[in-house]
Amino acid sequence: MESNLAFAITAFATALTIIDPVGMVPLSLAVTASAPPDARRRMIDRAVIVAAVVIYFMALVGRYVLNYLSITLPAFEIAGGILLLLISIDMLFARPSGTRAKPEEELEAIERENAAVFPLAIPMIAGPGTIATVLLLVSLSHGDKVRLTIVYAAYAFALVATWLCMRGAALVLRWIGRTGVGVLTRLLGIILSALAVQFIINGLVKTPLFHHA
């Protein structure tokens, strides 16, 4: 009983730390600021749902899929870093700008960009780190149904907390205004680019090629 309690504490702490619900507030604000309120809420809902599907899919069959395709977790980290680097460049140069578009046109542009899927759901919520920790916790459960249930509950809790925090980003938008969002977007672009490079470095460090070098 005590071991399951300790495992539960570890699982919940890991899920909350790796997903970081509060940390998703500024990013969701930057990505969804140009969208109308209804579209913003739909984007956030879609992002959390997509992330949940990815997380639980990886928890159930992820290890088998990766082994079958001979894909390593470091490869996931490097790929995630490259994708983040691309989106951070767009944020820095404000390429997805829609300040002169009508709300309907903005919504169409946003949906074309699939911002809810990338970068919100993947790789910011369900990123390489999240996938790695899900696989690790499932492995540590050793097939025990109670512990597997704990893992699923931990990530469900973290996703609900993330959804609440991202929905609350609209309140921040009211305070800082459009100009503040523009400044925040560029600042986040710099931070995100550094995070992307760190993902790539972390992935490279874990590869055998780096160790041989």
Give Cβ neighbours of residue 21 (< 8 Å, ≥ 6 apart): 158, 161, 162, 164, 165, 166
The percentage of residues in the chain with a pLDDT greater than 70, rounded to a whole number, is: 78
Interval 90-106: pLDDT, tens:
767 765 433 333 444 54
Interval 149-163: pLDDT, tens:
999 999 999 999 999
Give the total number of structural domains in the chain: 1
Name the DSSP class of 190: H
Mean pLDDT, range 183-206, rounded to an integer: 78
Domain that holds residue 154: 2-212
Mean pLDDT, range 11-38, rounded to an integer: 82
Alpha-carbon distance 60 to 56, whole Å?
6
Determine contact, residues 163/120, Cβ cutoff 8 Å: no
Mean pLDDT of the residues in the chain = 79
Sign of CA dihedral 51, 31, 124, 11: negative
> What is the pTM assigned to this prediction?
0.70
